């Protein structure tokens, strides 16, 4: 119940959805003679805020601390026993309907895991991702990625599928059930750089020590990345990602799913 309630609440609290809702609310209120000025003012402020938040680099400033929290992986020459790929890179329902993998903006998660699979040919590959949407049909993502890996030549015997998880916390819990920490060895955790702090916190909470392998950066490595956007939609999309991740960090810490508010190396 909490899962669905949080998903629905976030749908309406997402910055882009909230801003548009305020504009529409203001226009509706302005139809009343009594509240016309209030409604017009609300619509105007919300519209200006939408443009400003979409063009100004506020979202990039919110994402950079998350993306810079864990450094990029540097191969130290030691063996890698396994790779954990967190879902969120594939549109599962579209992939099923098309009969071919349909990736989204986080496709680097899949591509980098594939690269790692060939770099460390003895490593197991655990793909963690169930149907994590409220309004979708709940098609699991992990089996689709597993089929893709097998299709490009990865040994099926190396692949472990975890298709029950709907959240990052469940990614950690169900992965923990498939990996014995006492015998696990060194496992890489592949997910988006902005999602890595919460992911590391969740895995540490269940007692599974992993090595962060951040990918899917949305900001550049230099301060030049803090520049205005050319399109309002680009800034708002990034703002939605940043706001959701910061809210997730706060929610996970409050719910005891991580031991620190902003996990660090």
Model confidence at 243, in pLDDT bands (50, 70, 90)?
very high
Question: According to the model, what pLDDT value does residue 215 have?
Answer: 98
State yes or no: pLDDT of 124 exceeds 90: yes
**CA pair distance 16, 53, nearest whole angstrom:** 9
Q: Which of 50, 51, 41, 47 is nearest to 23 (CA)?
A: 47
Q: What is the pLDDT of residues 134-184, one digit of tens each?
A: 554 578 999 999 999 999 999 999 999 999 999 999 999 999 999 988 888
Question: According to the model, what pLDDT value does residue 127 have?
Answer: 98
Model confidence at 232, in pLDDT bands (50, 70, 90)?
very high
State yes or no: pLDDT of 5 exceeds 70: no
State yes or no: pLDDT of 63 exceeds 60: yes
Q: 3-class DSSP state for residue 183?
A: coil
Question: According to the model, what pLDDT value does residue 240 have?
Answer: 96
Mean of pLDDT over the chain: 92
Share of the chain above pLDDT 90, in %: 86
Q: What is the pLDDT of residues 14-51, one digit of tens each?
A: 999 999 999 999 999 999 999 999 999 999 999 999 99
pTM: 0.91
- What residue has token string 């902005």? 194
Distance of CA 222 to the CA centre of its chain: 22
b/e burial code for range 166-183 (CB count within 10 A of at least 16 → b): bbbbbbbbbbbeebeeee
Give 132 or 86, the one with higher predicted confidence.
Answer: 86
Cα-based distances in Å from 63 to 48, 59, 60, 212: 22, 6, 5, 17
Question: According to the model, what pLDDT value does residue 131 have?
Answer: 81
Is the backbone of residue 212 left (phi > 0), alpha (psi -120 to 50) or beta?
A: beta
Question: According to the model, what pLDDT value does residue 226 have?
Answer: 82
Mean pLDDT of 55-75: 95
Question: According to the model, what pLDDT value does residue 238 have?
Answer: 96
Q: Name all domains of the chain by residue range, CATH numbers in brackets.
A: 2-66+231-254 (no CATH), 73-215 (3.40.50.620)
State yes or no: pLDDT of 100 exceeds 80: yes
Question: According to the model, what pLDDT value does residue 225 have?
Answer: 73
Question: According to the model, what pLDDT value does residue 138 have?
Answer: 75
Q: Which of 262, 206, 259 is nearest to 68 (CA)?
A: 262
Question: According to the model, what pLDDT value does residue 250 have?
Answer: 96
The DSSP-derived string for 55-112 is HSTHHHHHHHHHHTTSPPP---S----EEEEES-SB-HHHHHHHTS--B-TTTHHHHH
Question: According to the model, what pLDDT value does residue 221 have?
Answer: 82
Q: How many CA atoms lie within 13 A of 139 on its CB side?
A: 15
Least confident of 91-95, 121-125, 213-217, 220-224: 220-224
Distance of CA 122 to the CA centre of its chain: 28
Model confidence at 68, in pLDDT bands (50, 70, 90)?
very high
Q: What is the pLDDT of residues 199-223, one digit of tens each?
A: 999 999 999 999 999 999 999 887 7
């Amino acid at each position: 119940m909490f899962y669905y309630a949080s998903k629905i609440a976030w749908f309406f609290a997402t910055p882009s959805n909230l801003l548009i809702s305020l504009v529409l609310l203001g226009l509706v209120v302005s139809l009343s003679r009594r509240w016309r000025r209030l409604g017009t003012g609300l619509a105007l402020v919300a519209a200006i805020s939408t443009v400003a938040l979409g063009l100004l680099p506020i979202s990039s400033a919110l994402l950079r601390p998350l993306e810079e929290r864990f450094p990029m992986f540097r191969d130290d020459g030691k063996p890698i026993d396994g790779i954990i790929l967190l879902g969120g890179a594939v549109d599962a329902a579209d992939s099923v309907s098309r009969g071919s993998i349909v990736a989204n903006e986080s496709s680097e998660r899949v591509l980098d895991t594939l690269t790692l699979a060939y770099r460390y040919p003895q490593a197991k590959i655990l793909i963690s991702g169930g149907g994590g949407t409220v309004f979708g049909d709940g098609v699991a993502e992990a089996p689709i990625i597993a089929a893709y890996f097998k299709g490009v030549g990865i040994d099926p015997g190396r692949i472990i599928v975890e298709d029950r998880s709907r959240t990052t916390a469940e990614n950690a819990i169900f992965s923990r059930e498939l990996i014995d920490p006492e015998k696990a060895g060194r496992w890489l955790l592949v997910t988006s750089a902005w999602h890595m702090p919460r992911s590391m916190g969740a895995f540490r909470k269940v007692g599974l020590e992993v090595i962060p392998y951040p990918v899917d950066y949305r900001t550049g490595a230099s301060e030049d990345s803090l520049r205005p956007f050319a399109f309002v939609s680009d800034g708002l999309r990034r703002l939605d990602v940043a706001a959701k991740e910061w809210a997730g960090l706060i929610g996970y810490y409050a719910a005891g799913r991580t031991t620190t508010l902003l996990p660090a190396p």
